[in-house]
Amino acid sequence: MSMRFEHETLGQRVRFASDAAAEGVREEIALLGATKVMVIAAAAEADLAKRVTADVPVALIHDDVVMHVPVPVAERARAAAAAHDVDAIVSVGGGSTTGLAKAVALTSGLPVVAVPTTYAGSEATNVWGLTEGARKTTGVDPRVLPRAVVYDAGLMLSLPVDLSVASGLNALAHCVDSMWAPSADPINTALAAEGIRALDAGLPLVVADPEGLPGREQSLYGAYLSAVAFASAGSGLHHKICHVLGGRYDLPHAPVHAVVLPYVLALNAPAAPAAERRIAAAFGSATALGGMQALRQRINAPMALRDYGFEESQIPDAVEAILLVMPESNPANVTPDELTRLLRSAWEGAEPR
Ligand code: NAD
């Protein structure tokens, strides 16, 4: 069979070395020639940020970070950057922190050096997100792609195990959804498969030994691959569902991804045999769902949307909203009844079928 595809690779330097973030950040800031750096880090990430920016010329530390980047929060950060006339941004934190740095870069063009402390993967994508009221808007813009990412698994040691598990499954969702996303191609699916393998190896180690580096390194490497795959393949059904749930009902990002993923896999796998085999092989399991469920059990994954603030009465409204954004590329033809069943099962934490 002939092979034909178009694939864009995003330009970004990635440094990966445990316990070397301060050195990596110093070198990246020197390469940019920056002399007035804005450090963005949430309060919970302040100590990590202090450590990794010890050797750079910091003009301003900004800790006003809120999940999903509300527009007023973005405006305040943009105003602070302008008032201090900064020439680069270092973000130290999870997806919310990286997201705020991206919001500043979007309007100012300032270069960002991202130091991630979760497995969310925003640092490796050119996707920005902002929320206005209950409406979450996302877009793609080359200005928001961080110039460099400094990965240091040592910074992950303080991420509590439950957050690590949810965040790691958010990364797994990037990989699995990439298999059938609108721009899936041989390159991003290869990265996604290797991401699944690395996360399947790393996350159980994180749970067994949260203070150990090997599990953190494998998981972080998998999270990076997952984000590169996702940035290239685009949003599939899983991301569309989670985007609606997170944005419309203000649910926590990573746990929602962690809960919904096996239900989307169960729905799509029969209609996508090649993806099913690929995912199963990456898990080293007979079936894709079997591999995923074995991992979820080992790491005590989040089980039900009702535990995270989603109400059963919101299902019809969610179904309506999801049907409007259903990707044409989705392998299974999803009816309103099937979507209702999926959300009900995810709401109560029933066995995915
Ligand atoms: P988060 O950034 O909100 O972090 C969760 C919590 O963990 C926060 O309280 C944070 O301060 C804390 N934390 C982070 N790292 C820590 C560490 N090492 N030790 C202790 N505490 C730590 O959550 P998230 O799941 O990383 O990111 C979610 C956000 O990222 C959402 O808004 C989502 O839309 C966005 N996102 C965007 C993209 C993209 O490509 N644009 C991709 C993935 C996620």
Q: Which of 135, 156, 177 represents a domain boundary (last residue)?
A: 156
Choosing from 115, 135, 156, the residue where a domain stops is: 156
Q: Are residues 268 and 298 in the same domain?
A: yes
Phi-psi region of 248 (alpha: psi -120 to 50; beta: other; left: phi over 0): alpha
Per-residue model confidence (pLDDT) at position 255: 98
* Predicted confidence (pLDDT) per residue in 272-327, tens digit: 999 999 999 999 999 999 999 999 999 999 999 999 999 999 999 999 999 999 99
C-alpha gyration radius of the chain: 19
Q: Write out the residue range of the structural domain in which residue 230 sits.
A: 161-348
Of 98, 133, 156, the position where a domain reaches its end is 156
CA 353 – CA 346 distance, rounded (Å): 11
- Asked if residue 6 belongs to a domain, the reply is no
Same domain, 136 and 234: no
β-strand 135-140 against 127-132: which pairing, if any? antiparallel
Helix (H) and strand (E) counts in the chain: 13, 8
Residue minimizing CA distance to atom 40 of ligand 1: 122
Distance CA 198, CA 229 (A): 14
Report if residue 7 sits inside a domain: no
Report the CATH number that the domain containing residue 127 is assigned in CATH: 3.40.50.1970
Question: Best mutation site among 253, 256, 261 for ligand 1, i.e. most ligand atoms within 8 A of its Cβ?
Answer: 253
The per-residue pLDDT for range 165-224, each reduced to its tens digit, is: 999 999 999 999 999 999 999 999 999 999 999 999 999 999 999 999 999 999 999 999
Residues 88 and 172 in one domain: no
Looking at the domain assignment, is residue 187 inside a domain?
yes
Residue nearest to atom 21 of ligand 1 (CA): 159
Nearest residue to 272 via CA among 168, 192, 347, 169: 192
> 271 and 299: one domain?
yes
**DSSP for 196-210?**
HHHHHHHHHHHHH-T
pLDDT at 353: 85
Its sign, for the CA torsion 151, 254, 331, 141, is: negative
Q: Which of 67-71, 79-83, 124-128 has the lowest mean pLDDT?
A: 67-71
Tally of domains in the chain: 2
Mean pLDDT, rounded, for 51-67: 97
Verify that 182 and 304 share a domain, yes or no: yes
141 plus 194 within the same structural domain: no
Judge if the beta carbon of residue 121 lies within 6 A of ligand 1.
Answer: yes
Q: Is 164 in the pocket of ligand 1 (CB under 6 A)?
A: no
8 within domain boundaries: no
Q: What pLDDT is stored for residue 1 in this prediction?
A: 60
Ligand 1 pocket test, pick from 64, 65, 123, 163 with the greatest ligand atom count within 8 Å of Cβ, gives 163
Are 144 and 165 in the same domain? no
